[in-house]
Amino acid sequence: MARTKLIWVILLLSALFPLSQVQAATPGVPKGPYDASLISYRALTPDMFGVASGQPVADVSVILLPNGKLRAYVFAQNKGIEIAESADNGKTFIRVGNAFGGDKGNGQPRAVALSDGRVRLYTSASGGVNCSISSDGLTFTLEKANCLLASDYSEASGLAGPGVVQLSTGKWKAYFSGLPKAGTGPDPWQVYSASSDDGVNWIRDAGVRIGVGASRIKRSAEHPTAIRHSDNSITLFYFDNGADPEGTGKVYSNGNGLHYSHSSDGLTFSEEKWFDMSKIDSRLSSTEMNDPDVLLDKDGNILLLGGGFAQGFGGYINVMALKSGQGTAPFPGDRCLAAKIVLGGPPNPPCGANAVQPTPAVQPTPAVQPTPAVQPTPAVQPTPAPVTKTKVKKITITCTKGKVIKKKGKVIKKVSGTAPKCPAGYKKK
> Which pTM does this prediction carry?
0.75
Lowest mean pLDDT among 34-38, 108-112, 241-245: 241-245
Say yes or no to pLDDT of 161 above 90.
yes
- When pLDDT is cut at 50, 70 and 90, the band that residue 117 belongs to is very high
The mean pLDDT of 131-160, rounded to a whole number, is 96
For position 403, what pLDDT does the model report?
Answer: 55
Q: What CATH number labels 28-341?
A: 2.115.10.20
- Which residues are CB-contacts of 89 (< 8 A; sequence separation ≥ 6)? 39, 70, 297, 298, 299, 301, 303
pLDDT higher at 343 or 382: 343
CA atoms within 13 A on the CB side of 89: 14
Task: Determine which helix (DSSP H) or strand (DSSP E) holds 373, and give its type and residue range.
Answer: none
What is the C-alpha separation between 119 and 276, in angstroms, rounded?
34
Is the CB of residue 173 less than 8 Å from the CB of residue 226? yes
Phi/psi for 420 (5° steps) reads -70, 145
Pairing of strands 427-428, 80-86: unpaired
The mean pLDDT of 268-273, rounded to a whole number, is 92
Phi/psi for 153 (5° steps) reads -130, 65
Centroid of chain to Cα 198: 32
For position 327, what pLDDT does the model report?
Answer: 87
For position 59, what pLDDT does the model report?
Answer: 97
For position 338, what pLDDT does the model report?
Answer: 53
- When pLDDT is cut at 50, 70 and 90, the band that residue 330 belongs to is confident
For position 340, what pLDDT does the model report?
Answer: 61
| Nearest one of 40, 86, 89, 79 to 57, comparing CA atoms | 79
For position 11, what pLDDT does the model report?
Answer: 39
What is the C-alpha separation between 370 and 375, in angstroms, rounded?
7
Percent of the chain with pLDDT over 70: 75
Is the CB of residue 422 less than 8 Å from the CB of residue 399? yes
Calculate the alpha carbon distances from 238 to 9, 130, 219, 404, 422 in Å: 40, 21, 10, 114, 100
The mean pLDDT of 388-404, rounded to a whole number, is 62
- Which residues are CB-contacts of 345 (< 8 A; sequence separation ≥ 6)? 335, 338, 339
Q: Which residues of 153-162 are buried (b: 16+ CB within 10 A; e: fewer)?
A: beebebbbbb
- Which residues are CB-contacts of 124 (< 8 A; sequence separation ≥ 6)? 106, 107, 108, 130, 158, 159, 160, 161, 179
pLDDT higher at 243 or 13: 243
Say yes or no to pLDDT of 139 above 70.
yes
The mean pLDDT of 74-78, rounded to a whole number, is 98
- To 5 degrees, how large is the angle CA 137–CA 12–CA 7? 135
For position 337, what pLDDT does the model report?
Answer: 55
Say yes or no to pLDDT of 391 above 70.
no
Is the CB of residue 305 less than 8 Å from the CB of residue 26? no
Instruction: Work out whether the CA dihedral 98, 99, 104, 109 comes out positive or negative.
Output: negative
What is the C-alpha separation between 60 and 47, in angstroms, rounded?
16
Say yes or no to pLDDT of 40 above 80.
yes
The predicted-structure confidence for 83-112, as pLDDT tens digits, reads as follows 999 999 999 999 999 999 999 999 999 999
Residue 380: CB atoms within 10 Å: 8
For position 369, what pLDDT does the model report?
Answer: 44
pLDDT higher at 80 or 416: 80
